[in-house]
Chain A
Amino acid sequence: MSEALRVPTMAEYMAQGKKPEVLFWVGCAGSFDDRAKKITKAFARILNKANVDFAVLGAEESCTGDPAKRAGNEFLFQMQAVTNIEVLNAYEIKKVVTACPHCFNTLKNEYPALGGNYEVVHHTTFLKSLLEDGRLTVEGGKFKGKRITFHDPCYLGRANNVYEAPRDLLRKLEVELVEMRKCKSKGLCCGAGGAQMFKEPEPGNKDVNVERTEQALETKPEIIAAGCPFCNTMMTDGVKNKEKEDSIEVMDIAEMIASAQEL
């Protein structure tokens, strides 16, 4: 905590005539949402610790357009996409890492047809590769032996078949990983996807996040691990709804790793 964060922008890199090995795409939630900003900082601290040469776009970053596209506003989505692609291509970006599965999915799958071709990875996959390359070491620390369940983000799991990277990281933290009744390809959505995050739910008999939180609570976890800022918000609200916020934490895997390393 003592060391200041080193988060250069692409503009600064450009001014020095350098290129980073990876662009950290922060995303709207990661930039503005108070809860998600903690995830962003935790991930940046890990990148600092592992001496990853990275940069952010800063004020040059703009919404990927995911919520607009899922709401049906293809026009707004493509305007966002094309503008972002111009910026990314101008900086000759080759590799992008993001802590938001929605940004991840959109950048990886929907930008190529519009001229944006990058290697895009989710931060859990990136962290796993840092471990494999020996650039980062992870020990359980305070999480060792803790009972933890992982909530699969739809846009990481079903949408892109990434199920194991987050779980591998949890295993590295030596936690007791317990799976929910509905997990991996059968995981239940937190309720935020498809632009639901930005609107009131339709009438029903329960909120989706409460249903999902109940499934998580069935595993009697000490921590619910997440890999998406929106899932994080939804599950945190769900835990509060169940008045369990004193005993159960909702944490992003990046936060857990940073915390275990006392970063």
Chain B
Amino acid sequence: MQYIPNLIFLIILVLGVGFFIKNIKKLLRNIRLGKDIDRSDNRPVRWRNMAKIALGQYKMVTRPVSGILHVVVYIGFIIINIEVLEIIMDGLFGTHRIFGFLGGLYNFLIGSFEILAFLVFVAVVVFWLRRNVIRIKRFLSPEMKGWPKMDGNLILYFEMVLMTLFLVMNATDYQLQLNGAAHYASGDGIVGAFPVSQYLLPLFNGLSDSALILIERSAWWVHIIGIFVFLNYLYYSKHLHILLAFPNTWYAKLKPKGELDNLQSVTDEVMLMMDPNADPFAAPADGAEETGDPEKFGASDVTDLNWVQLMNAYSCTECGRCTSECPANQTGKKLSPRKVMMDTRDRLEEVGKNIEANGSFKEDGKQLLDDYITKEELWACTTCNACTEACPISIDPLSIIMEMRRYMVMEESSAPTDLNNAMTNIENNGAPWPFNQMDRANWINES
């Protein structure tokens, strides 16, 4: 009988971790729906970028207020997780503060966790105020209505509750140790240091040991179950960035921001056209493999994007720094780089669910273009790279916009008329305006 709590804990642990692994597999399957792209060059630079941007939060602090608050929550999250290790061990073995034998070091650690928990709580409250009371503009965009807004707040509530439970757990534990309660008190004096939770003691004044134990155990259980729930909430939330920020910065584009890739399928065609020896009527060489359908130009759906772009979509935490820097968005156009990422993820999730339901993808009459991202949004982009510069984890919304423009122009011929005129001019007379190419040097002799 006495092992029942340990057993229940084990079951919760296995369920929590198992369900999480299942979701991660789903995530990887969806990301792999993207086209292949080789981003394994320059590994030292990639590691450095990951260390600087993801681990070091280098781009977060370019906006000092949200940046520093984020660093507090980030450090708190990582360090307090050391305590989760102890909680899991205690849960499995029914021990009380199993690392207590570390003595002074243990007290230092628990003390630091408490201070961090308090700071995290404060930072999270400020985050909540920024979203709901100060109402910062980038949290009020049209794409942030409904679930995305609730998602953002839910994460904050989760963190507030977890930090409160952690401190309540410590406070009651401390009181029980002071009372000399069995299982809690040890012969070597107080285990742990409680620089924050000691101030909560008056709340529990006069409670019996059994009442204290009830509160301590409840806080302990709800805290650890809450952590497992939160872990599994990640996949359904924008909060995946806590994991994906790392690969996302590692696989980010290293070339100059201004450089767009040259489509190889187009290069092949162009080189054939430019080759004076090419025979346009030549039959395929004997034994040549059937090459299949010609490749689609650009992207109209998520499966036309590459896997890094799809990972970008899952990594986006909807902070909106990209959108707030976007010249089109600032001047009231519909384009929002954040929405491009959110739409890509939503459509990818839809495609993933379709595959789960039907074994393989069954045509659903929908696509990313038009059904999620409109042409009006895509044509408003100035390709200025303000979004890619602003993103704290190196997401590249511009590359998705460009792929979709390529589809609109090369597959649909649906460019705005003005652009078609400019392109016709380039084709005919080598300039976007209707000037004769032979007049190109006239400026030299004009006064």
Contacts and interface: CB of A to CB of B under 8 A. Distances in A.
Interface of A: 5, 7, 9, 26, 28, 30-33, 37, 40-41, 44, 56, 58-59, 61-63, 65, 67-82, 86, 105, 108-110, 113-114, 154-155, 158-161, 185-186, 188-189, 191-208, 210-212
Contacts of A108: 256
A40 B325 CA distance: 32
B320 to A, nearest CB: 16
Most central of A59, A68, A154, A194 by chain B CB within 10 Å = A194
Given A189-B384, A202-B333, A58 B266 contact: no
A160 B257 CA distance: 7
Contact of B432 (A26, A30, A67, A69): A67
Interface residues of B, number: 67
B337 interface: no
A208 B433 contact: no
A44 B444 CA distance: 9
B133 to A, nearest CB: 26
Contact of A199 (B271, B274, B406, B419): B419
B328 to A, nearest CB: 7
Contact of B256 (A32, A109, A193, A201): A109
Nearest to B381: A194
Given A71-B405, A158-B386, A188-B330, 16 more contacts: A37-B446, A40-B443, A72-B404, A74-B262, A74-B263, A75-B297, A77-B262, A79-B427, A109-B259, A114-B262, A159-B259, A199-B422, A202-B335, A202-B376, A204-B331, A204-B332
A-B complex: 10 closest residue pairs judged by Cβ atoms: A159-B258, A72-B405, A194-B383, A205-B332, A62-B430, A204-B332, A189-B384, A109-B259, A58-B441, A198-B422
Contacts of B379: 199, 202
Contacts, number: 219
B431 interface: yes
B440 A58 contact: yes
A35 B266 CA distance: 35
A160 B376 CA distance: 28
A105 B387 CA distance: 18
B392 to A, nearest CB: 14
A59 B437 contact: yes
B419 A71 contact: yes
Contacts of B333: 201-204
Given A194-B381, A196-B382, A199-B416, A208 B405 contact: no
Interface in B391-407: 402, 404-407
Contact of A80 (B269, B402, B418, B426): B426
A243 to B, nearest CB: 20
Interface of B: 255-260, 262-263, 266-267, 269-271, 273-274, 297-298, 325, 327-328, 330-335, 376, 379-386, 389, 402, 404-410, 415-416, 418-419, 421-423, 426-427, 430-433, 435, 437-444, 446
A154 B435 contact: no
A202 B444 CA distance: 37
B423 A31 contact: no
Most central of A65, A71, A186 by chain B CB within 10 Å = A71
A32 B259 contact: no
Most central of B263, B402, B430 by chain A CB within 10 Å = B430
Contacts of B376: 202-203
A9 B441 contact: yes
A159 B415 CA distance: 25
Nearest to A212: B327
A237 to B, nearest CB: 14
Contact of B262 (A68, A113, A201): A113
A198 B327 contact: no
Contact of B270 (A78, A199, A201): A78
17 contacts: A62-B437, A67-B432, A73-B409, A73-B423, A81-B262, A159-B385, A188-B327, A189-B382, A191-B327, A192-B382, A197-B432, A198-B419, A201-B331, A202-B328, A202-B333, A204-B331, A208-B331
Contact of B435 (A32, A74, A202): A32
A110 B408 CA distance: 21
A200 B416 CA distance: 9
A67 B257 CA distance: 16
A188 to B, nearest CB: 6
Contact of B409 (A71, A80, A194, A199): A71
A160 B258 contact: yes
A114 B410 CA distance: 20
A194 B384 contact: yes
Contacts of B381: 194
Contacts of A197: 432
B391 to A, nearest CB: 12
Most central of A40, A78, A210 by chain B CB within 10 Å = A78
B441 A201 contact: no
Contact of B415 (A72, A74, A77, A202): A72
Most central of B257, B439, B442 by chain A CB within 10 Å = B257
B326 to A, nearest CB: 9
Contacts of B255: 109
A82 B330 contact: no
Given A58-B441, A78-B266, A194 B259 contact: no
A210 B327 CA distance: 11
A107 B255 CA distance: 14
Most central of B376, B430, B443 by chain A CB within 10 Å = B443
Nearest to A185: B389
Contacts of A186: 325, 386, 389
Given A59-B440, A207-B331, A208-B382, A161 B256 contact: yes
A204 B328 contact: yes
